[in-house]
Structure 1
Amino acid sequence: MPNANPYTNNSFQSSDLKTILHSKRANIYYLQYCRVMQKDGRILYLTESEKENLYYNIPIANTTCILLGTGTSITQAAMRMLSQAGVLVGFCGGGGTPLFMGTEIEWFTPQSEYRPTEYIQGWLSWWWDDDKRLQMAKKLQLARLDFMQDVWVRDKDFRAVGFDSKNEQIVSLQNRYKEMIFGQNSVNDLLTLEGRMTKDLYRLASINTNNAGFSREHDGVDKANAFLNHGNYLAYGLGATTAWVLGIPHGFAVMHGKTRRGALVFDIADIVKDTIVLPLAFICASDNASEQEFRQECLNYFTAYKALDVMFDTVKAMALNQDWGH
């Protein structure tokens, strides 16, 4: 008797894929002007040219998230396969920003009743206590500075344009803010301090890359602002992946407001944003790079410096309340 389910032949179990840990997956895709579909048990995107249609394969087992930009569509069968492979999908505007709905972080997250339990249970064991949540927010900010210190001392391209953890000015900035983090008495104070540090980094970056008069504007049309937006949303994709895989809902943030949607995604993304996205945005703007070139640089740096590993390790340590030695 023939099977009544027309999709059975193209279905698969997650176990059929070679398992690659999310923290080790290499790919983030931003697609535009194409159709994403399932064909012969694979996920493809189709682009139309004047003379022929071109199909490109997406290796879903090695992909963390897909951003669908202007002029895209996706089939139900493709969404089913992406869900089975644990790939997050987000719809966004041209160039990767903003993520819809509105300006919130909204991802289509694969549904699974088999989420890990220890991380959300550990997270909630301290999240309700304001004092404990403040201590975790401080640990998050210290992890952010540790990552910056590590990458900026190792990367020769960053060091060549002044992003160098051995540079006296950088050392002074990092040490000053580390000391000030310990002295903050509320999350709002910590957020204010974070904003001041980021402004100092913008000022430093504008000097290092001869971008005089730079002002951070999310709607700015200059390349530095556009690249900052684009790179930040790539980091949000990694942050969303981390929270989803560990089973921690996006509402349980430690830095951004309790009632802000997707706030935990912002928190997690902050671990790597200033270290990788900020310098690259200014360097690529100075080099007059294209958006595609900038995006590829971001993805290369995320992979080279194991940004997703750092996010996972930081959030897991916070959830389990492990001593990081700070």
Structure 2
Amino acid sequence: MKDFSSSDLKAILHSKRANIFYLEYCRVMQKDGRVLYLSEANKENLYYNIPIANTTVILLGNGTSITQAAMRMLSQAGVLVGFCGGGGTPLYMANDVEHKIEWFSPQSEYRPTEYFHSWMQFWFDDAKRLAAAKCFQQARIEYLTMVWNKDSDLKADGFVVQDSAVQEALARFHERTNAATKSSDLLLTEAQLTKVLYKFAANNTKLEGFKRNHEGSTNQVTDKANDFLNHGNYLAYGLAACTLWVLGIPHGFAVMHGKTRRGALVFDVADLIKDALVLPWAFICAKENATEQEFRQQILQAFTDHKALDFMFEQVKAIAVKGASL
């Protein structure tokens, strides 16, 4: 195989990359200078190309293996890799983030340091770190408002910001966020808003008896909604981890989820898009009895349509650049 520089694969910025792959029951390998995955069907070997220069994350599910040569090419292309269970959750092994939400980051120590330096200018100051957290919280609502006002498919299923219950919840959210004096206040306010949005989504999609359960539901009707929420959230974590790796900001320097929680900044960044995209589509796909693959295709398309990765990059860079002025 002919060696190449990682710069050869950076014509597409990470923020503009379109692909996240979830693979299962296959072997990922390098062949003729490309990364492929091999699957078997009707006693025939089938090879499929992975466009690594346009890929942010690869999740390897049940029954997968990967060669060293493939990992080397993925690393050179700046693709994050995670090993996970069926359906994309949970993540079993990688490095740098919390026990079930971890990623193998491409090993490059030559990334720009400007955003990390800017982040450090405010991170050790409690008041400035709180101000950064408030910026994240306001941005997630701005994104939700923009997406729900723009997306005709979501509107067709009743996901409109103008609903009185949503408006009341958002007004309360803004009031409590502005008044917060510590990160725990923000986490409580976030939890209260999400609870309202879950109820709103369950009513819209007629999923009676929904109760959020991260380990799965005891009600068969709402099992899929919980599973899809978990699945979509993990995909959002992948985009967040990619954003932070590219910008050179370590995952442990969170602004809201806790200074000592490993990988908490990934959760902060993923929260920017979860309410706007993952939450409504999890309920809609559950109502339509979609398969995991259909849900995954839908949520990845929504990420692309609404430039979720772009938005993550913009917000993290904006907060880093503000730095000491927060």
Q: Check whether TM > 0.5.
A: yes
Q: Measure the CA separation in 2 of the matches of 1:295 and 1:321.
A: 35
Match of residue 317 from structure 2: 316
The offset of 1:104, in angstroms, is 3.0
Q: Within 5 Å, which residues of 2 pair with 1:220-235?
A: 220-221=216-217, 222-235=223-236
Given residue 8 of structure 2, which amino acid in structure 1 is its aligned partner? D
Of 106, 109, 120, which residue of structure 2 is paired with 1:110? Answer: 106
1:184-207 deviations in whole A, cap 9, x for unaligned? 110011101111111111011110
Q: Secondary structure at the match of 2:290?
A: coil
Q: Within 5 Å, which residues of 2 pair with 1:155-234?
A: 155-221=151-217, 222-234=223-235
User: Are 1:278 and 2:274 counterparts?
Assistant: no
Match of residue 3 from structure 1: none
The offset of 1:12, in angstroms, is 1.5
Q: Measure the CA separation in 2 of the matches of 1:51 and 1:177.
A: 57
CA contact (8 A) 1:163 1:170 kept: no
Alignment identity in percent? 65
Q: Measure the CA separation in 2 of the matches of 1:23 and 1:49.
A: 35
User: Are 1:119 and 2:115 counterparts?
Assistant: yes
Q: Is the alpha carbon distance of 1:322 and 1:143 closer, same or farther for their aligned partners in structure 2, counting shifts above 3 Å?
A: farther
Q: Measure the CA separation in 2 of the matches of 1:88 and 1:271.
A: 20
Q: Measure the CA separation in 2 of the matches of 1:16 and 1:264.
A: 30
The offset of 1:323, in angstroms, is 11
Given residue 104 of structure 1, which amino acid in structure 2 is its aligned partner? K
The offset of 1:18, in angstroms, is 5.8
TM-score (norm 1): 0.94
1:153-208 deviations in whole A, cap 9, x for unaligned? 11111112221123333223222211221011100111011111111110111101
User: Unaligned 5+ residue runs, structure 1?
Assistant: 1-8
CA contact (8 A) 1:44 1:58 kept: yes
Q: Within 5 Å, which residues of 2 pair with 1:1-326?
A: 9-17=1-9, 19-101=11-93, 103-221=99-217, 222-321=223-322
Given residue 190 of structure 2, which amino acid in structure 1 is its aligned partner? E
User: Unaligned 5+ residue runs, structure 2?
Assistant: 218-222
The offset of 1:322, in angstroms, is 7.2
Q: Secondary structure at the match of 1:321?
A: helix
TM-score (norm 2): 0.94
CA contact (8 A) 1:34 1:45 kept: yes
Q: Measure the CA separation in 1 of the matches of 2:88 and 2:323.
A: 35
Q: Measure the CA separation in 1 of the matches of 2:240 and 2:281.
A: 19
The offset of 1:100, in angstroms, is 1.5
Q: Secondary structure at the match of 2:43?
A: coil
Q: Measure the CA separation in 2 of the matches of 1:294 and 1:164.
A: 21
RMSD of the alignment, in Å? 1.6
In the alignment of these two chains, the number of paired residues is 317
Q: Secondary structure at the match of 2:147?
A: helix
